Amino acid sequence: MITIVDYGAGNLQSVEKAFQYIGAPVRLASSGTEIASAEALVLPGVGAFRDAMHSLEAGGMAQPLRDYIASGRPFLGICLGLQLLFEESEEFGHVKGLGAFKGRICRIPAENGLKVPHMGWNSLELKRTDGIFKGLQENPYVYFVHSYYLKAEERQLVSAQTEYGVKIDAAIQRGNAFATQFHPEKSGRVGLQMLRNFMAVVKEEA
């Protein structure tokens, strides 16, 4: 059973439908108790970092999320769901995140004629070929929508990078915890394969 955290994230339905498409049973969680009881957890997200953190804190879900990630159970963060895992974001000044991992979220510099937000397909430079990237071709293309990007302090966390004016830490992995700046649910066959790979991790842990 895949539990998707429901805190008002804009891409919740598309993530839910993608998992249902690959045959994964899904439920939504909007409380700390439901997060704590999850077998496999997905944290989606689009929009403002500050607003998302406020929703998680106000809903009593922030600390259960930290506890869940520390437990070693399967976890997948998507887009803002990756950014929220880190210590702080530059968005609206300095806003504290969940602090599950060390690093900060920075604004993509609007230089060299590049448009911000970064919207569209970019190739990944894979640092790992296990976990959600198992069986993928070299330099797969995935879909991004974001104005801020991760600078991970713990470099061994980074499982993929991409280039958009700056080097972007596009995915992380530690144990059974995975997170992506891009949207697997919008990345066609490649993205669906990543979700299937995540399901394979979930089944191994069951």
d(CA 75, CA 48): 21
106 tagged catalytic: no
Strand partners, 123: 141
Sign (positive/negative) of CA torsion 119, 124, 128, 133?
positive
φ, ψ dihedrals at 127, nearest 5°: -95, -20
Q: What is residue 6's three-state secondary structure?
A: coil
E strand or H helix that includes residue 191: helix 188-205
183 tagged catalytic: yes
Check if the beta carbon of residue 95 is closer than 8 Å to that of residue 47: no
d(CA 81, CA 159): 16
The residue from 54, 94, 183, 205 that is catalytic is: 183
Check if the beta carbon of residue 61 is closer than 8 Å to that of residue 160: no
d(CA 186, CA 14): 8
The residue from 34, 57, 79, 118 that is catalytic is: 79
The residue from 106, 154, 185, 204 that is catalytic is: 185
Q: Where are the alpha helices (DSSP H) in 72-181?
A: 80-83
| Catalytic site positions | 79, 183, 185
